[in-house]
Amino acid sequence: MLRFFQPEKTNDNHYTLLINDLHQTAQDLQDAYRNLENVIDPDLIDCYIYELNSVQMRYKFLLTSIRNYELRTQKNPENFYTKNPLELSES
Instruction: Give the pLDDT score at 5.
Output: 44
> Would you say 64 and 89 are in contact if contact means Cβ atoms under 8 Å apart?
yes
Q: For each successive 10 residues of the chain (91 residues), what is the average pLDDT?
A: 43 86 96 93 93 96 92 66 57 51
| Predicted model pTM | 0.67
Distances (CA, A) of 86 to 20, 26, 43, 62, 74: 15, 19, 35, 9, 17
Q: What distance in Å separates the CA atoms of residue 52 and residue 33, rounded to the nearest whole number?
A: 7
Backbone angles phi, psi at 23, to 5 degrees: -65, -40
